[in-house]
Amino acid sequence: MTLPDLRHRFPGLSDGWVRLDGPAGTLPVDTAIEAMYAYLRSSAPANEGGRFDASIRTTAMVDDVRAAVGAFFGACGSQVIFGASATALMFAYTRALARTWNGHERIICTQLDHDSNVTPWVTAAADAGAKVTSVPVDPADGSLDLADLERALSGPKVAWVALCGASNLTGFAPDLPVAAEMVHRAGARLHVDAVARAPHLPVDVNGWAIDSLVTSPYKWYGPHAGVLVLQPELLNGVEPFRVRPADYNGPSRWETGTKAFEVIAGIGGATAFMAEHSWASVTSSETALLERLETGLRAITGVTVHGPVSANGRAPTTIFNVDQRAPEWVAGALAERRIAVWSGDNYACELIDALGLRARGGAVRAGIVRHTTNDDIDALLTALAAIVANL
């Protein structure tokens, strides 16, 4: 089973560009756009907490979207918190957690992660006097061996492990159910950064006993926002920084200030789109495209692909370099041909360093999403081959 052609669902593709920049943010899908528009043009826009119809309808919409997002991630709607971005939520969340620490805690991060799942923990630990340990990746392909995590857990008691669901550079995806069992066996809690995983691979927060999870709807065809999912004992038992009149119980206690209700409506539209296709069809289609891309890249003399060799079990993202050219230059040359990719470290600072790519300026990154086609892949490969031939 494979995905149907979905290009007609994305108005942003109308300009003819080949969009392989999805790992940094996807184009919004029609259902997300329409849901935002419908909310804004309706009589519903109003703040929550009122006794009048518009306020009541807004609250009902928020509750419905919470439930849909919760179901998509294997959680309850009452566990879902909305925020401005994953990074903003992570700083607020870890700062609140640090209020419960006594300075003897140990936090484990990894070299695989985006910095938004590293620096918030490091900052919170510094404030509380806790210690942070980093689990290394294999410098050959950037993969993370959970045996190394287990060894790190065997030392002094660990409070939290921060682990990404998939690398935003190479797509490498740790086995989250195994990691969760390992972490809990050691008496620690697991936080998962699912930003790079959620568009491509399933997540089951409650089924896998994940303690907390963060994701970005704009990485799965919605508006710019962040979502934090917490187990009930964390949601209600940790004291967030909040104003006094704010709701004390439930997810609203974590949502600083008035919510962006039109954005939440858009998240609901994106969630509906995500649920339209089975994970089997998504992974089958995206894996085949990733294989096509990486096979083609490796066939071009002077191009080096970094990361795992197999496309199976990964988020469909790859990084590569061109001999004698900086990644930024390559991205610019592709942009001249109306092909959008990214370059640099893409905020995966430690992974770029571990792969030895810092001195080269990082790498070029291309990602596959649900509207990517064989023609898109071939356009990149043809353009890159021409660029290399003219060096």
Q: Is residue 335 in some structural domain?
A: yes
Is there a single domain that holds both residue 181 and residue 38?
yes
CA atoms within 13 A on the CB side of 360: 22
φ, ψ for residue 381 (rounded to 5)?
-65, -40
In a domain, 13, yes or no: no
Whether residue 24 lies inside any domain: the answer is no
Residue 266 has pLDDT above 80, yes or no: yes
Query: What is the pLDDT at residue 74?
Result: 98
Task: Show Cβ contacts of residue 11 under 8 Å, excluding neighbours closer than 6 positions.
Answer: 27, 28, 30, 33
The last residue of a domain, from among 274, 295, 321: 274
Q: What is the pLDDT of residue 286?
A: 98
Domain final position from 249, 274, 299: 274
Does residue 338 share a domain with residue 216? no
Asked whether residue 43 carries a pLDDT value surpassing 80, the answer given is yes
- Choose one of 240, 274, 308: the last residue of a domain: 274
Q: What tens digit of pLDDT does each residue of 112-169 get?
A: 999 999 999 999 999 999 999 999 999 999 999 999 999 999 988 999 999 999 999 9
Percent of the chain with pLDDT over 90: 96
Indicate if 284 and 268 belong to the same structural domain: no
CA 320 – CA 353 distance, rounded (Å): 15
Question: Could you tell me which residues come within 8 angstroms of residue 271 by beta carbon, excluding any fewer than 6 positions away?
Answer: 65, 68, 69, 72, 217, 222
Residue 17 inside a domain? The answer is no
The answer on pLDDT for 309 being more than 90 is: yes
Same domain, 91 and 103: yes
pLDDT of residue 385: 98
> Given a cut of 90, is residue 244 above it in pLDDT?
no
Q: Is 82 in the same domain as 208?
A: yes
Q: Are residues 205 and 267 in the same domain?
A: yes
pLDDT average, residue stretch 257-281: 97
Range of the domain at 49: 32-274
- Whichever domain contains 312, its CATH number is 3.90.1150.10
Q: Could you give the angle at the alpha carbon of 144 between the alpha carbons of 143 and 145, nearest 5°?
A: 120
293 and 158, same domain (yes or no): no
Instruction: With respect to residue 26, please indicate whether it lies within any of the assigned structural domains.
Output: no
Q: Cα–Cα distance between 48 and 143 in angstroms, integer?
A: 45
pLDDT category of residue 287 using cuts at 50, 70 and 90: very high
Do 214 and 309 share a domain, yes or no? no
The answer as to whether 101 is a domain residue is yes
Find out whether 287 and 52 touch, Cβ atoms under 8 Å: no
Cβ atoms of 18 and 376 closer than 8 Å: yes
pLDDT at 155: 82
We report the CATH number of the domain holding residue 133 as: 3.40.640.10
Same domain, 239 and 289: no
Rounded to the nearest 5°, which phi and psi values hold at 19?
-105, 100
Q: Tell me whether residue 1 is in a domain.
A: no
Starting at the edge strand found earlier in the chain, the sheet holding 363-367 runs 303-306, 317-322, 363-367, 342-344
Count structural domains, the chain: 2
CA-CA distance, 131 to 323, in Å (whole number)? 40
Question: Is there a single domain that holds both residue 193 and residue 288?
Answer: no
Mean pLDDT of 222-235: 98
Q: Are residues 245 and 355 in the same domain?
A: no
Q: What are 59's two structure tokens? A: 């609250």
Residues 252 and 287 in one domain: no
Contact 19, 366 (CB under 8 A): no
Does 12 fall in a domain? no
Cα 58–Cα 60–Cα 62 angle in degrees, nearest 5? 70
